[in-house]
Homo-oligomer: A and B are copies of this chain.
Amino acid sequence: MAKLQKSIEKKEALINATIALVNNDGFHAAPMSKIAKMANVSPATIYLYFESKQDLVNQTYLEVKNAFTTYAFEAYDEQMAVEASFKMIWFRIAEFKFRDCERGLFLAQCDNTPMIDEESRQEGIKNLKPLLDLWKKGKEQGIIKPVSDYLLYAYTVNPLSYLMMVKKRNAFVPTEENINEAYQLAWDSIKLT
């Protein structure tokens, strides 16, 4: 058990190092040697936990994506009204992205580049099911505009990725007030009235 414990710690350290280095330098400038150093581990040790660099990045992506969606949907209850559910999920997503900016950015980079395998990406997308179900219900009840889920995503969740990015670059550090405004923009764009 002590062994397993130790292993998990190392694996996490490697994943964290990967996130930090890929965020700051990009995949192309995040060599295994640097990742190992940051995780306080020998380069050879990485290969006890991951098959290859590609595998390391894929697993990091899935790990973060899971943490993200778990947090986003944690308090979701199908019994709740559509608008209230959406609001809650939206704010939890915002919270995750702004609190754990590093992880949010890493996801954005994975989603916008050919960095990870298509297979892992597909796997990651499955996590969004609860949100899609909610939208389905919202459309059926005439609360949400009857447009493609891709459009709904583009105008509600995705803007948060952009805002997180400008925050990372210190171009715009959103306040509590800004987050509320952002929610209003998101909801105003998809609500049916």
Q: How far is the CA of A158 from the CA of B147 in the complex (A)?
A: 18
Count of A interface residues, CB-CB < 8 Å: 40
When distances are taken between beta carbons in the complex, the residues of chain B under 8 Å from A155 are 155, 159, 182, 185-186, 189
Secondary structure dominating the interface of A: helix
Identical copies in the complex: 2
Partner of A172 from the list B113, B148, B163, B189 (CB cut-off 8 Å) is: B148
CB distance from A79 to the nearest CB of B (A): 28
Task: State the 3 A-B residue pairs at the shortest beta-carbon distance, nearest first.
Answer: A28-B28, A189-B189, A154-B159
- Of the A-B pairs whose beta carbons lie under 8 Å apart in the complex, a sample of 25, sorted by A's number, is A23-B114, A24-B114, A26-B27, A26-B28, A26-B113, A27-B28, A108-B112, A111-B165, A112-B112, A112-B165, A145-B185, A147-B178, A150-B162, A150-B171, A150-B172, A150-B174, A151-B159, A151-B181, A151-B182, A155-B159, A155-B186, A159-B159, A185-B189, A188-B188, A189-B189
